[in-house]
Amino acid sequence: MRKRMENPAPRDPALSFPAASFSDCVAQAETAIRDLFEPTPLQRNDHLSAKLGAEIWLKREDLTPVRSYKLRGAFNAMRKRVTPGAAGNAHFVCASAGNHAQGVAYACRHFGARGTIFMPVTTPKQKIDKTKIFGGDAIEIVLTGDYFDQTLAASQTFAAEQDAQFLPPFDSADVIEGQATVGLEILRQLDGAPDLVVLPVGGGGLAAGITRYFAEMAPATQFAFAEPLGGASLQAALQQGAPVALPAVDNFVDGAAVARIGALPFDALRRFSPQDVHLAPEDRICITMLEMLNTEGVVLEPAGALAIDVLGDLGDLAGKRVVCVCSGGNFDFERLPEVKERAQRFAGVKKYFVLRLPQRPGALRDFLELLGPDDDVARFEYLKKSARNFGSILIGIETSAPQNLTTLKARLDHAGFVYRDITNDEILAELLV
């Protein structure tokens, strides 16, 4: 983490912020947003504070009407484009499978404007239904494209043909300005500047807005950025000195796993170092989600848990006042079994093996007798008979502590069993598990 430096002017004039003070523009946006909802809570978390020996505060953006800060950016961009008394003539278009879509839908209904929201065909029904609820009769949802890039291209073509206004999720000065209202609320609610703010990063709009606002209002505050390991577009851009497209993205942390950070957000964030970015493994995020759910009763989607998850990577926080932005609470509980599974794998208490057994009576019993008292067979499946004398089985073992599986492997080796641990073999695990 480094101290902040002067913010350079954006290089692209087309993406420039207004000439007025950025903090003044944010204050105006915040006043307007109060028509939608009250400031989200800033809560001291006793559990995390005791765990880290610091003063940990959570900015609960999961408690906006759409469970995400994305509403702030969409609303601010739309309010500047809606003519008073003629909102019904406005037509807004966006491409999103998640929180941005829900924010646009909610704001369209608020203004009485027309909205067309493009989503990939693969979008979960839960997200489609929630977007419909937020937008009501004000919006139309168009499902097109197997991949987001296809959906985005279709939405932009549609906007041009219909002379509608396209709303980007993060690469917009108005969106960044609206999301910066989170920073304004933090300073008001905390009654003083925090030592450190931990921000989740996807396209970079939230991070760009808050860091720019703090540069004017609380320049001594430091920042740390959290990105999913499989979608670290900010870190890649800082390493290269310009936004770059990641060759592949793990979409588990949907909303934060972005292949290319926005151009305008990067201009605001280029002053930071790659070392200021901390990467959160997707499976570890699952542990954080379950901990917050079971211990604190806080429901967070993977992107919402990002900032909390990297706290342990930030070094000694003793005595510091730290604010984490919890970015989203739109969690589909149908994903809970997957979250639990991934958490167990990362914690080392669940493993999958392909085991080669001799085709004789008692062979399976010999294996089962090697299991410890806390080892449970969670999956068992004959795969095939690979030869006349041997057969293969898929077996999943769940236990209470990682060392139990280490000792199990030692017993298997000593007994001469032939096996392969496929827990972290993504190709085999996807095929078999």
11 assigned to some structural domain: no
Asked if residue 225 and residue 92 are part of one domain, the reply reads: no
Spell out the alpha helix ranges (H) of 331-401. Answer: 336-347, 363-368
Give the rounded percent of residues in the chain with a pLDDT score beyond 90: 77
pLDDT tens profile 345-403: 999 999 999 998 887 888 888 999 999 999 999 999 887 655 567 788 899 999 999 99
Cα-Cα-Cα-Cα torsion 17, 20, 24, 28, nearest 10 degrees, comes to -70
Q: Which residues contact 313 (CB under 8 A, 6 or more apart)?
A: 278
Number of Cα atoms under 13 Å in the Cβ half of residue 121: 6
Mean pLDDT of 95-120: 94
Asked if residue 412 and residue 363 are part of one domain, the reply reads: yes
Asked if residue 410 and residue 375 are part of one domain, the reply reads: yes
8 assigned to some structural domain: no
Please report, for residues 36, 121, 226, the alpha-carbon distance to residue 305 in angstroms, rounded to integers and kept in the order given.
25, 26, 10
Domain that holds residue 402: 348-432
194 assigned to some structural domain: yes
pLDDT tens profile 5-15: 333 334 333 34
State CA 96 to chain mean position distance: 14
Has residue 193 got a pLDDT over 60? yes
Asked if residue 412 and residue 301 are part of one domain, the reply reads: no
Asked if residue 198 and residue 124 are part of one domain, the reply reads: no
Last residue of a domain, one of 313, 339, 365: 339
pLDDT tens profile 16-66: 555 579 999 999 999 999 999 999 999 999 999 999 999 999 999 999 999
Asked if residue 389 and residue 325 are part of one domain, the reply reads: no
Asked if residue 391 and residue 333 are part of one domain, the reply reads: no
Q: What is the pLDDT of residue 359?
A: 77
Last residue of a domain, one of 166, 196, 219: 166
Total count of domains within the chain: 3
Q: What is the pLDDT of residue 188?
A: 96
Average pLDDT value over all residues in the chain: 91
- Strands 165-166 and 390-398, by their bridges, are unpaired
2 assigned to some structural domain: no
172 assigned to some structural domain: no
Asked if residue 82 and residue 214 are part of one domain, the reply reads: no
Q: What is the CATH classification number for the domain harbouring 399?
A: 3.30.70.260
Asked if residue 74 and residue 61 are part of one domain, the reply reads: no
Q: What is the CATH classification number for the domain harbouring 156?
A: 3.40.50.1100
- pTM higher than 0.85: yes
Asked if residue 285 and residue 204 are part of one domain, the reply reads: yes
103 assigned to some structural domain: yes
pLDDT tens profile 295-320: 999 999 999 999 999 999 999 999 99
For the annotated catalytic residues, the residue numbers are 70, 327
